[in-house]
Amino acid sequence: MNYNLVMLVKEKNTFTQFDNNIISQIENIVGKKNIISDEEGVYAYSFDCAHIPFNKKYPRIVVFPENTLQVSEILKLANKYKIPVIERGAGSNHAGGCAPVKGGIILHFSKMNKILEINNEDLTCKVQPGVVVGDLQKAVKDIGLFFPPDPSNLAVSTIGGGIALSSGGPRAFKYGTFKDYVLDLEVVLADGSIIRTGSQTVKNVTGLNLTQLIVGSEGTLAIVTEATLRLIPAPETTNVMLAYFDSISEAVDSVSAIINNHMTPSVIDLIDKKTVQTIENFYPTGLICDKEAVLLIEIDGDVASVRLQQDKIATLCRGYGAKHIDCANDEEHRQKIWTARRSAFGACAQLAPNVITEDVVVPRSKIAELSKGILQISEKYHLITMVMGHIGDGNIHPNFALDLRDAKQKQNFELAKAELFRLAVSLGGTLSGEHGIGCQKANFLPLALDKTTLNLMIQIKKVFDPNYILNPEKML
């Protein structure tokens, strides 16, 4: 396929080297203690979970801002000298979204990590971008509230990263993704201007929805320095169950039956046999390893409702071929099951030096066809592949275990990845549900978007960032 269907940004800036004058100006803004400029120190901040080679050709520096005004001054400086600016939190992105592929200023938000306010009356909170998602969930839970988005790495992933990607996680089926909980953003534009994009109200149709334009834009339009998020009352109780099937098709049919019977579990995740075996070997929890597919189903609500739904779902799953059902019988058991689920990516690292997690979405009715296609592609290119994901919303994450030092394996993976994306689009799906496009998928956008749509996106990018300094080489 010709990936030059769209005229992307042609202006190629010659980025200024970090001479003593520029470093001195940055020190004046944030203080010397908030800068890392030595090669070894900077190297540690030059990667995310994607495998992007480090290029010494491009200079880079790590800066730890402590407030919005410092971010603004840094962007004024960067815009003046046309230096790239890359926002970074925990670096858990899987698509190269925070890799400084052209060098530049890496803004690390670990020092802007405060929960500024939790408003129990308005059901909102104000947070800085460096707040860890899991920490926010614990803080609001203590007063009976709930922040539903839950990326699998929520123990480290940050609010800023969640906003950049509109992250979702397992609970997206019932509760939606980050975009459904962002009411207002304080952002710094490429020229250093500071604006707010929304309001503290749940309803707001005053002007264009800049908030939702920023959410999911991967740091290419503006830099988020504060977010006002919507909260909801916490469910009274939660329980989780595992249903084991002899085929993925049976598991998919069971999910359709659950939904058609007017039940909405908070989580419906699919885990294939290879993934279960790998997890159990890594973190033994008593998982059954000889079934082709497992559904992890979480139910929340009041105690009576959860008990009733659990019984009905178990009956439905058995009716569609479930050979065994395991319901958590206490909180310790529930947490053990979830720890096993969340360890899937780490468990895969037992199989090869590198693990690459992909992220495609298809209509739920096409999950079985997608899963079958993934395994056929993997067999064709001799790759070790585990299929898992959020079957409730059609978001599947195949984990590929390989050795990127092996040129043939690396080439085979690139070929397999291209076929995977084409397969997802052919099934009515698209390239990403929550990991984003980053620099790993940018060349594949013409598979999913037409020329007119892409050109419109490029024009929007130019309005926000005419000098092309914000997270360059990402998405577009």
pLDDT tens readout for residues 26-70: 999 999 999 998 888 898 898 888 878 777 778 789 999 999 999
Q: Which two tokens stand for residue 373?
A: 């296609």
pLDDT tens readout for residues 336-360: 999 898 888 888 888 999 999 999 9
Tell me how far CA of residue 60 lies from CA of 45, 104, 285, in angstroms. Answer: 10, 4, 44
Model-level pTM greater than 0.95? no
Pairing mode, if any, of strands 293-301 and 267-272? antiparallel
In three-state secondary structure terms, 394 is coil
In three-state secondary structure terms, 389 is strand
Vertex 443 angle, CA 442 and 449, to 5°: 80
Who contacts 307 (Cβ-Cβ below 8 Å, separation ≥6)? none
Question: Could you say which DSSP state residue 397 is in?
Answer: E
Q: Which two tokens stand for residue 145?
A: 């509230």
H helix or E strand, kind and range, residue 272: strand 267-272
> Exposed, middle or buried, 34 (CB in 10 Å: 0-12/13-18/19+)?
middle
User: Which H, E and C letters describe 331-353, residue by residue?
Assistant: HHHHHHHHHHHHCHHHHHCCCCC
Cα R_g (the chain), whole angstroms: 23
**What is the rounded CA–CA span in Å between residue 64 and residue 59?**
17
Sequential DSSP letters for 201-255: SS---SSS-HHHHHTTSTTSS-EEEEEEEE-EEPPSEEEEEEEEES-HHHHHHHH
| 427 and 395 Cβ atoms separated by less than 8 Å | no
**What is the rounded CA–CA span in Å between residue 37 and residue 63?**
9
Sequential DSSP letters for 19-76: -HHHHHHHHHHH-GGGEE-SHHHHHTTS--SS-PPP-TTS-EEEE---SHHHHHHHHH
Closest of 262, 104, 91 to residue 160, by C-alpha: 91
* pLDDT in single tens digits along all 476 residues of the chain: 333 333 333 344 444 567 788 999 999 999 999 999 888 889 889 888 887 877 777 878 999 999 999 999 999 999 999 999 999 998 888 888 999 998 999 999 999 999 999 999 999 999 999 999 999 999 999 999 999 998 878 888 999 999 999 998 899 999 999 999 999 999 999 999 999 999 999 999 999 999 999 999 999 999 999 999 999 999 999 999 999 999 999 999 999 999 999 999 999 999 999 999 999 999 898 999 999 999 999 999 999 999 999 999 999 999 999 999 999 999 999 999 998 988 888 888 889 999 999 999 999 889 989 999 999 999 999 999 999 999 999 999 999 999 999 999 999 999 999 999 999 999 999 999 999 999 999 999 999 999 999 999 999 999 999 999 999 999 98
State residue 17's pLDDT score: 61
Q: Which two tokens stand for residue 184?
A: 């207002």
Residue for token digits 């984003």? 436
Sequential DSSP letters for 181-192: TEEEEEEE-TTS
Closest of 470, 248, 214 to residue 366, by C-alpha: 248
**Distance between the two ends of the chain, CA-based, in angstroms?**
17
Tell me how far CA of residue 264 lies from CA of 172, 260, 267, 310, in angstroms. Answer: 11, 10, 8, 11
| 187 and 197 Cβ atoms separated by less than 8 Å | yes
Half-sphere exposure of 186 (CA within 13 A, CB side): 14
Domains of the chain plus CATH, in order, are: 9-234+452-463 (3.30.465.10), 238-325 (3.30.70.3450), 351-436 (3.30.70.2740)
